[in-house]
Amino acid sequence: MVSTSYNRPTDAPFATITVRVPTDKLNEALEHFRSLSYKVASENLVGEDVTDEYLDIDSRLTTLQKTKDKFEQILEKATSVEDILNVQRELINLQDEIDSLKGQKEALAKNAQLTKVTVYLSTDELALPYKPDKVFRPQVIFKQAVRSLLSTARVLAELGIWIVVYAPVWIIPVVAYYLIRKRKQKKGQISKAES
């Protein structure tokens, strides 16, 4: 397994799994993943050709090996200690580069034998892209209706909380308006009674 990721948001839990599969077993692996699912919402296959990179590494290795061979010949003919030390230093650097490139080449060869497969899993019908089914599934419709009802109840509860929290801000103007209106009505009734 290369990586896994699991997310559980309130409405739609989902997970992503990435695995490496031997290239010759790719179709079997894809069929296996398809057989585990209720519905395949989408599928995308992407390949990467590493032939050029592999050949480039091969070419660089050949060049470095030839250079190393020449330095070894120079080392055999070197007479001073300084020349011997300089040539040995170059040989060590060349060997490091050769080893590094051989490691890259081996990694490319191994990667070419394996294919990376990423699977997106969702347990929630709403998390999947919309694609109408040919099959009528009332249980899914019922589940969606219940979710909608719960979402509406939640929105109303949140609205109630906001109203309570902001009550000091809106209650004072409402009470003031009510008192002023009541006074005006009393004054209006007193004026009518006098006339």
Residue 2 has pLDDT above 90, yes or no: no
Q: Are 52 and 72 in contact (CB under 8 A)?
A: no
Give the residue among 36, 45, 46 at the shortest CA–CA distance from 15: 36
Look at residues 96, 103, 74, 100 and name the one whose alpha carbon lies nearest to residue 87: 74
Question: Residue 123: CB partners within 8 Å, gap ≥ 6?
Answer: 13, 14
CB atoms within 10 A of CB 168: 8
Confidence band, pLDDT 50/70/90 cuts, at residue 56: very high
Q: Quickly state the pLDDT bin for 69 (edges 50, 70, 90).
A: very high
pTM exceeds 0.95 for this model: no
Q: Note the Cα 40 to chain centre separation in Å.
A: 19
Cβ partners under 8 Å of residue 143, min gap 6:
125
Contact between residue 7 and residue 121 where contact means Cβ atoms under 8 Å apart: no
Beta strands in 8-156 (DSSP E): 14-22, 114-122
Q: Three-class SS of residue 130?
A: coil
Structure confidence at residue 90 as a pLDDT band (50, 70, 90): very high
Give the pLDDT of residue 51.
80
| pLDDT at residue 54, rounded to an integer | 84
Residue 101 reports pLDDT greater than 90? yes
Distance of CA 64 to CAs 15, 103, 117, Å? 46, 14, 36
Tokens describing residue 120: 């997106």
Per-residue pLDDT tens digits for 105-142 = 998 888 778 888 888 877 666 655 566 666 777 888 88
What whole-number distance in Å separates Cα of residue 26 and Cα of residue 109? 17
- Phi first, then psi, for residue 68 (nearest 5°) are -60, -45
Q: What is the pLDDT of residue 10?
A: 57
pLDDT tens-digit readout, 138-187: 888 889 899 999 999 999 999 999 999 999 898 999 999 999 998 888 87
pLDDT over 70 for what percent of the chain?
82
pLDDT at 128: 58
Percent of the chain with pLDDT over 90: 39
Compute the Cα dihedral for 150, 151, 153, 154 and give only its sign: positive
| Residue 194 burial class via C-beta count within 10 angstroms: exposed 0-12, middle 13-18, buried 19 and up | exposed
SS3 4: strand
